[in-house]
Structure 1
Amino acid sequence: MTDERLFTIAEANAELDELRGRLPRLREARQRLIDTSERITSAVEVDGGGVEGSDWFRAQESLKAELLWLADRGILLRDPETGLIDFPAERDGMRVFLCWQLGEDEVAWYHDEQTGFSGRKPV
């Protein structure tokens, strides 16, 4: 048996304020990694990466910290761009995911393991 955390709707909703603060930071760090990687490719030929290399490592550490925070809580990030989050849960004896996306007021949807976002149903 797995030690996977299963969330109730109330427990998932209790995480939302923190997620609303963390997801934009995660997206920003991810974008900085992408942008800096492109600049490093050019700069490495000139000066070994210089400032861009330092920026990349800072962005990497920031992204890593946010991803570890999610993993430690058993929260699944499905799409960093839209802030799509799944919370493992159980409904009628079946494993499901409570589904929330940045911009939504509360966790109001769920889906089974096979259907994903397109198969969301109201809780």
Structure 2
Amino acid sequence: MQARYYTLNEARAALPVVKALMSQVQEARSEILRLRPEIWPVLQKAAHNGGNAAAGSVYSQFDKLETGVKGILKMGILVKDIDMGLIDFLSIRNGREVYLCWKHGEEDLSFWHDVNAGFGGRQPIDPEDF
């Protein structure tokens, strides 16, 4: 999927949908990690040959995770880190490309960073700059 440019207002308007999709991704991720000790030996032995109930549950959770990530990507938003629930909206700040950065659990879209800076370079958003 190709990223698109978001204004600050557009990104904030999209945030409720992104929050719902990322919650789905995080729930699926947690369930996969919970089932991993039980299912990993089965998957190594069976690899799609019968499996068990836990295997079916893991496949279902992978489907939920994939659906959530694809939903975010279809909106032209970048998924940067599934473990953290980190996403970036491509935007323009003072004539150059930057990312409006949101992390699962944050109430609002409050940070931005340069495209090469990453999460560690996050800075508070000044709405006047966008």
39-48 vs 23-32, which deviates more? 39-48
Q: Is the 8 A contact 2:3 2:78 kept in 1?
A: no
- After TM superposition, give the deviation of residue 29 of structure 1 in Å: 0.8
Bigger relative contact order, structure 1 or 2 (CA pairs below 8 A, ≥6 apart): 2
Name the residue aligned to 1:20. 19
SS of structure 2 residue aligned to 1:28: helix
Report the CA distance shift for 1:102/1:34 in structure 2 as closer, same or farther (over 3 A). closer
Q: Which residue of 1 aligns with 2:128?
A: none
User: Which moves more between the two structures, 84-93 or 64-73?
Assistant: 84-93
TM-score normalized with structure 1 length: 0.82
C-alpha distance 36-54 of structure 1, shift in aligned 2 (>3 A): same
Q: Does 1:111 align with 2:110?
A: no
Residue type of the partner of 1:50? N
- What does 1:74-113 align with in structure 2 at a 5 Å threshold? 74-113=76-115
Q: Does 1:52 align with 2:51?
A: no
Which range is displaced more, 78-87 or 10-19? 78-87
Alpha-carbon distance in structure 2 between the residues aligned to 1:27 and 1:19: 12
SS for the counterpart of 1:115 is coil
Alignment root-mean-square deviation, CA? 2.2
Partners of 2:37 and 2:50 lie apart in 1 by 14
Normalising by structure 2, report the TM-score. Answer: 0.79
State the distance in 2 between where 1:33 and 1:104 align. Answer: 23
How far did residue 57 of structure 1 move?
1.4
Letter in 2 for 1:92: N
Q: Secondary structure at the match of 1:74?
A: coil
SS in 1 for 2:108: coil
Amino acid in structure 2 at the alignment position of 1:5 = R
In structure 1, C-alpha distance between the alignment counterparts of 2:109 and 2:40, rounded to whole Å: 41
Pairing 1:24-39 to 2, within 5 Å after superposition: 24-39=23-38
